[in-house]
Amino acid sequence: MQAAGKVYLVGAGPGDPELITVKGAKLLKAADVIVYDRLVNVELLSYAQPGTELIFCGKSPERHTLPQEEINRVLVYYARQGKTVVRLKGGDPSIFGRVGEEAAYCAECGIPFEIVPGITSGVAAPAYAGIPLTHRDLSSSVAIVTGHKRVDGQGDPVRWDQLATSVQTLVIYMGVGNLPYIRDQLLKYGRPAATPVALVRWGTLAKQETLVGTLDNIVEKVQEAKFKSPAIIVVGEVVRLREKLAWFEAKQAAGEGTEQRGSSLPALKTVVV
């Protein structure tokens, strides 16, 4: 009987390919199979060896190339062939990455796995926009929140009534399309209308964009700018620090942007399931 391989659930980082961890890069070099998401920078695939099987499972808000249940089965299928499987996820796999479901399925099937953390966009994108999430004088608490509405009729998973005034900095993922509702909930439960808000799109990449407003006007600003996902939303007084700390825009203005490793890929075997 063939010994089982192993599944590595790896965080790809927030976008800039240089922000993947050393361990993540090593695992990409050692992988027999890489199963990767839409928000993974494809430059990271150049770490793979020739002959590595690449499987794109491009999940987006509108459509999924592979349903989650099928992704789970793909991981186990290749691991049972004795292969080293890297499940490459944008950001950190444990932050809205459904890593719990994939790890649980591996465990149920008797497949060994490891979770390899990555830098999540909810930390990296604000940092590149000059917005530290905590500050001794402004914020000693942070909450990471999903802004994505559930479609299964189970209601809003977020307790906005508790978060509105109890946490100084809110970091909201997947919330651009739901921003009017989020704004209304925060105002309804006591967050001041003058609270600063920032949206950071394509954080850490050369094409990064940042839009700043307040709870009172951010929805209109987003509509006027036609600002779309993927973007991180930051709510809190720390947004004001950006006026002095917007270091990345200075690099962009100088034509520097982020370092690129090159877009050429080795001769990889790509598999679409």
Confidence of residue 256 (pLDDT cuts 50, 70, 90): confident
| Amino acid 152: pLDDT | 54
| Amino acid 175: pLDDT | 97
Active site residue 37: yes
Q: Which of 16, 32, 59, 89 is catalytic?
A: 59
| Amino acid 257: pLDDT | 62
Domains in the chain: ranges and CATH: 6-119 (3.40.1010.10), 122-254 (3.30.950.10)
Residues 6+ apart with CB under 8 A from 217: none
Please, are residues 260 and 43 in contact by the beta-carbon 8 Å criterion?
yes
Q: Which of 32, 89, 92, 174 is catalytic?
A: 174
176-217: pLDDT as tens digits? 999 999 999 999 999 999 999 999 999 999 999 999 999 999
| Amino acid 154: pLDDT | 65
Residues 6+ apart with CB under 8 A from 246: 129, 130, 210
**Rounded to an integer, what distance in angstroms lies between the CA atom of residue 57 and that of residue 198?**
30
112-170: pLDDT as tens digits? 999 999 999 999 999 999 999 999 999 999 999 999 875 555 678 899 999 999 999 99
pLDDT higher at 154 or 23: 23
Confidence of residue 263 (pLDDT cuts 50, 70, 90): very low
Q: What is the pTM of this model?
A: 0.89
Using a 10 angstrom Cβ sphere, with 0-12 exposed, 13-18 middle and 19 or more buried, the burial of residue 252 is middle
Stretch among 2-11, 15-24, 44-53, 192-201 having the lowest mean pLDDT: 2-11
Confidence of residue 61 (pLDDT cuts 50, 70, 90): low
| Amino acid 151: pLDDT | 54
| Amino acid 1: pLDDT | 59
Residue 272 pLDDT > 90, yes or no? no
Residue 66 pLDDT > 90, yes or no? no
| Amino acid 3: pLDDT | 76
DSSP 45: G
Active site residue 26: no
| Amino acid 262: pLDDT | 42
DSSP string, 70-108: HHHHHHHHHHTTT-EEEEEESB-TTTTS-HHHHHHHHHH
Q: Which of 32, 37, 89, 92 is catalytic?
A: 37
Active site residue 23: no
